[in-house]
């Protein structure tokens, strides 16, 4: 049965209201966090030079792009390849949902936004969850391998994450993953039969490794700009950020892991700097991540709008779908 024009209009109106409400919530939670830490962030920024801040933001954007490509690789492996501009729009907009308490919001947003490009909801949800698991497992492996050399204290404090890593690695074995997804679909009564291959998981994991390296480099630049010097500084910052992200993700009640991530960063960085310096860097890192999320989302929307406008000009009479 085809939906009536009135029903389609009602759905579009409801979607616009939901997007508006989501945007208001995201901005509200970000504003509350920044306002609560504003003086500390300003003091920390004053310790750094413009080159360190600009370079660090550049690495943040590289890391975010790698995360988007990790998700795109999973979706393509499931049979729904998206153009880079469309994938960027879906991924970066959905990531703003992480500033609302609860780690499920980016997944829900990715699922809904992906349907605008013909991706089935079940496949979009599977791809989003798979990329989260890939990022989580690779992050734990990166944190464990680097911090075991650079910060044994952090490893002792968060030893329990090793069990999460083992469970995640088992989950990422294609036959296991495909059986778990099939079982979940039966329980939830969701249609779909997409399976994921080992090649797809390798590609997604490779992008995830680049993501963690870039995020570690952004923290390394901040630390070096603050005058910290250590032969193991690069290993330490990479492992510290991966560990902090994982801890922040596991504690789902906090928006984007606020507080938990900073605490883990301070502990992991303690071998090479005092707690006040580590906390300052953690707050600047958080501010740069927020800036990176909003910059990437804005750039992705502009790029996709230009792409759609170009297609519309090439096909007179066609009307691009509403982006808002």
Give residue-wise pLDDT tens across range 123-175: 888 888 888 888 888 888 888 888 777 766 666 766 776 777 777 778 778 88
Q: Judge whether 317 lies within some domain.
A: no
According to the model, what pLDDT value does residue 256 have?
45
Q: Which domain holds residue 216?
A: 53-310
The 10s digit of each residue's pLDDT in 57-105 is 999 999 999 999 999 999 999 889 999 988 999 999 888 877 776 567 7
Residues 6+ apart with CB under 8 A from 323: 89, 301, 304, 305, 308
Q: Judge whether 229 lies within some domain.
A: yes
Residues 6+ apart with CB under 8 A from 28: none
Q: Judge whether 97 lies within some domain.
A: yes
pLDDT of 32 higher than 80: no
pLDDT of 208 higher than 50: yes
Q: Judge whether 47 lies within some domain.
A: no
pLDDT of 301 higher than 50: yes
pLDDT of 31 higher than 60: no
The 10s digit of each residue's pLDDT in 219-233 is 999 988 888 777 788
Q: Judge whether 15 lies within some domain.
A: no
The residue among 152, 130, 131 whose CA lies nearest residue 243 is: 152
Q: Is pTM, for the whole model, over 0.95?
A: no
Question: Per the structure block, which two tokens stand in for 323?
Answer: 């982006």
Burial class (CB in 10 A: 0-12, 13-18, 19+), 245: buried
Number of domains, the chain: 1
Rounded-to-integer distance, Cα 105 and Cα 109, Å: 6
Residues 6+ apart with CB under 8 A from 39: none
Q: Judge whether 256 lies within some domain.
A: yes
Indicate the average pLDDT of the chain: 77
Q: Are 239 and 150 in contact (CB under 8 A)?
A: yes
Q: Judge whether 4 lies within some domain.
A: no
Q: Judge whether 21 lies within some domain.
A: no
């Amino acid at each position: 049965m085809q939906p009536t024009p009135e029903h389609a209009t009602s759905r579009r109106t409801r979607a616009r209201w939901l997007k508006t409400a989501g945007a208001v919530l995201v901005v509200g939670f970000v504003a509350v966090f920044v306002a609560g830490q504003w003086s500390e962030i300003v003091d920390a920024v004053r310790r750094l030079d413009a080159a360190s801040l600009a370079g660090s933001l550049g690495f943040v954007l590289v890391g975010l792009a790698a995360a988007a490509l990790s998700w795109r690789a999973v979706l393509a492996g499931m049979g729904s390849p998206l153009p880079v501009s469309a994938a960027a729009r879906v991924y970066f907009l959905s990531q703003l949902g992480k500033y609302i308490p609860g780690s499920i919001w980016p997944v829900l947003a990715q699922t809904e936004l992906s349907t605008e490009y013909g991706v089935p909801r079940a496949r979009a949800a599977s791809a989003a969850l798979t990329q989260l698991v890939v990022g989580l497992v690779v992050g734990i492996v990166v944190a464990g391998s680097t911090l075991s050399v650079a910060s044994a204290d952090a490893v002792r404090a968060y030893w329990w994450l090793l069990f999460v890593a083992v469970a995640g690695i088992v989950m990422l074995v294609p036959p296991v993953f495909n059986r778990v997804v099939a079982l979940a679909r039966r329980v939830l009564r969701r249609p779909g039969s997409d399976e994921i291959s080992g090649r797809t998981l390798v590609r997604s994991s490779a992008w995830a490794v680049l993501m963690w390296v870039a995020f570690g480099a952004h923290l390394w630049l901040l630390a070096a700009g603050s005058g910290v010097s250590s032969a193991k500084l690069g290993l330490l910052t990479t492992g510290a950020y991966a560990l902090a992200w994982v801890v922040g993700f596991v504690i789902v009640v906090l928006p984007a892991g606020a507080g938990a991530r900073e605490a883990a960063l301070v502990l992991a960085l303690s071998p090479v700097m005092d707690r006040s310096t580590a906390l300052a860097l953690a707050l600047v890192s958080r501010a740069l991540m927020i800036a990176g999320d909003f910059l990437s989302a804005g750039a992705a929307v502009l790029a996709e709008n230009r792409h759609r406008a170009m297609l519309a000009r090439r096909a007179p009479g066609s009307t691009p779908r509403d982006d808002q």
